[in-house]
Amino acid sequence: MSSGLSDLWRWFADTQCGAYSPLYQRICRAVADDNEVLGLVADAPPHAHLPNMLLAAVHYLVLGGLEHPLSQVYAGASEADPGPLFVEVCLDQREAIAGLLQTRHTNTNEVGRSAALGPALTQVAMQLGQPLGLLDIGCSAGLNLLCDRYLLDYGPAGSTGPPDAAVRVRSEVRGGHPPIARRLPAIAARLGLDRSPVDLSSDDAVQWQLALVWPDTGRLKRTRLAFAEARRSPPEVVEGDAVDDLAAAIDRIPEGCTPVVVTTWAFAYLPVERRAEFANVLDAVSSARRLAWVSAEGPGVVDAFGDVDAPADEGNTPSLLGLVVFTDGRRDEELLAFVHPHGSWIDWGCAPK
């Protein structure tokens, strides 16, 4: 078996899981050492070589009622070593897992990211005015389009949103003074653009979304609640390409709104050349109306912010929260903060200005 896949799984264990998800760190290391499971991954399409896919496939089976000791570990009811159990499930359920790897994709709806998005939207409103018109690119089911309906709890730094909200997101402020308002700016329009929007009426589609959530990080319950909220009042998400259909999507935001294009851990899935084209589309649109782009991506993904050396966080690589304002083809770029990829903390003061 190629050492490349093994190295990928070790890298994921150490830089993406770490102390944040000890469960998946142990599992990833076990997969890295098992040639049979790596062979199952190698036989899948290239997009399924990323660890998230196999992790989600097994979690999907667990959520579907799989009777196996691993299910008890995922539920927090057993302290058995998850590594060998995960490998056993992969080999016992080889056919079902292979089918999932062939047909499914990573399109996580992580509402914790609203905690990073909230201060960024407040910053945009302070600079460009409100109401805002949100356009979330690669948004999947569009759960973060409903960010103003969640309670974003920043501890001693304050909170944003309805105090009685069903969906509550806790995020630690580790540095600086992010603009935390009691409520988010008025959102007069919200639209999602995704190549494969999630069908909120499909229980199976929602189960796959839940399977993409890491079991030991405390996020599963709030994700269920967020899907319940979205089913009551579905955000509009249209099928389309992040670059080819971008200008037309912005045109759907009514005049009188400040268009805010959002990419949260989706921009990285675009090929490098398409990322430049994405920014060029925003340049072109800004000749007619001023707009903002809020991005939350890993280091080196958005050219405007370079490959900033973000401080390591217990084995997890922080991401960069950035703002680019486009005015008649001119770009004003600001790196706002370092943030946890799932929104569990934000460091507004650490980012260089």
Integer Cα distance of 70 and 77 in angstroms: 10
Write down the CATH number for the domain with range 111-347: 3.40.50
Q: How many CB atoms lie within 10 A of CB 256?
A: 10
Give the pTM.
0.89
Between the two ends of the chain, the Cα-to-Cα distance in Å is 46
Question: What is the reported pLDDT for 336?
Answer: 96
- pLDDT given at position 353: 43
Kindly list the domain boundaries of the chain, sorted by start residue. Answer: 3-103, 111-347
Alpha-carbon distance of 107 to 94, in angstroms, equals: 23
Residue type present at position 62:
V
C-alpha–C-alpha distance, residues 65 and 81, integer Å: 20
Nearest CA-CA partner of 107 in 76, 71, 136, 81: 136
User: Could you state, in chain order, the average pLDDT of each consecutive group of 10 residues for the chain (353 residues)?
Assistant: 84 89 96 96 93 97 97 96 97 97 89 96 96 96 96 97 96 95 97 94 95 93 95 94 97 96 93 95 96 94 80 73 95 94 88 46
What is the structure's pLDDT at 349? Answer: 76
